[in-house]
Amino acid sequence: MPDKKQDLIDQKLQDLNNDGVDRRGFLKCMAWAGTGLVWTMSGGIPVSRAFAKTADRSAGKGGDFSFVQISDSHIGFNKPANPDVTATLQTAINKINAMSHKPDFIIHTGDLSQLSKPGEFDTLDQVLKGASARQIYFVPGEHDMLSDNGEQYLQRYGKGTKGTGWYSFDQKGVHFVGLVNVANLKAGGMGSLGHEQLEWLEDDLKGRSASTPIVLFAHIPLWTIYPEWGWGTDDSEQALSYVKRFGSVTVLNGHIHQIMQKIEGKVSFHTAMSTAFPQPAPGTAPSAGPMKVPADQLQQVLGITDVNYVVSGRSLAIVDSPLGA
């Protein structure tokens, strides 16, 4: 039953999505609460939750689960924007371990390292070992495939994956797909999935029920945020055409070191904060390079993303929390 507040939220969403798409099945919920942004998607049913309520929800009911997305650890980075990225990753892991509801797994959306060096990956592994969630799913960022076409990444984090590291898995009825859009990039272009991966994706989704909630995750955003800085994926439209028939699609990305989101039809796009350093909002700086903020503010612009799945209504709720919260 829509109330005035909900109408306002709807209006905001329509402003955000002035693209003439059918809004019948729209994801309608978006609410700012404290430092966390909460949005809940549900097949056509608007559900609004305050941060505290969402964070409070226990995954006690059968089939419900939660996971945490972390991104852009850039282990090895040591410039003024954050001289100790290992420490801030550790803070992120501590925050995850302290959560009242224990996440079932962690997704890392790439740029694990700064320069693809073995020592950087070793340090990352050491910190991640301390996570209470044992299972961690990865996709590579461009920084993880710098000098060896991603061979080392594949050996360490991509065993059993296809191509340059793409794969899918199922968790309690939700279908997760990890995609690689940082390999074989073309001059003048943005992120790229490539023909082989797109074919695999089409095949992977074929035959799945339209009521299966889908989560796509990849490093570079699968929607065009700012082409001037390469913040998008050249062939993402084709990938998204394969998920159009599904009732609930969530797209999780990193790369831009800040929270951005868009809702288009039944597809919700979301980018996560980095655990290493912030980057400027699109077009607000000469380039997308690391942004230096006063040291006491750094933990407000780094963070983690908590995703809760609730079986009733097949909804996913996403909460971003800065490390310093």
Our CB check for another protein shows the closer of 188 and 207 to be 188
Residue type, 82: N
Q: Give the number of other Cβ atoms within 10 Å of residue 83's Cβ.
A: 11
Q: Nearest 10 degrees: CA dihedral of 281, 39, 210, 245?
A: -40
Our CB check for another protein shows the closer of 145 and 273 to be 145
CB of 14 to another protein, least distance (A): 31
H or E element that contains 316: strand 315-322
The three-class DSSP label of residue 70 is: strand
Residues numbered 269 to 298 that lie near another protein (CB under 8 A) are 286-290
CB of 230 to another protein, least distance (A): 4
Q: For another protein, which residue of 28, 49, 95, 143 counts as binding (CB under 8 A)?
A: 143
DSSP 150-203: THHHHHHH-TT-BTTTBEEEEETTEEEEE---BSSPPTT--BB--HHHHHHHHH
Q: For another protein, which residue of 13, 29, 41, 81 counts as binding (CB under 8 A)?
A: 81
Q: For another protein, which residue of 22, 187, 207, 284 counts as binding (CB under 8 A)?
A: 187
Q: Give the number of other Cβ atoms within 10 Å of residue 84's Cβ.
A: 13
Q: For another protein, which residue of 185, 198, 260, 325 counts as binding (CB under 8 A)?
A: 185
Residues 162, 170: Cα–Cα separation, whole Å: 16
Nearby residues of 300 by Cβ (< 8 Å), 6 or more positions away: 35, 322, 323, 324, 325
CB of 187 to another protein, least distance (A): 4
Residues numbered 5 to 64 that lie near another protein (CB under 8 A) are none
Q: For another protein, which residue of 42, 86, 109, 114 counts as binding (CB under 8 A)?
A: 114
Our CB check for another protein shows the closer of 46 and 110 to be 110
CB of 115 to another protein, least distance (A): 6
CB of 117 to another protein, least distance (A): 9
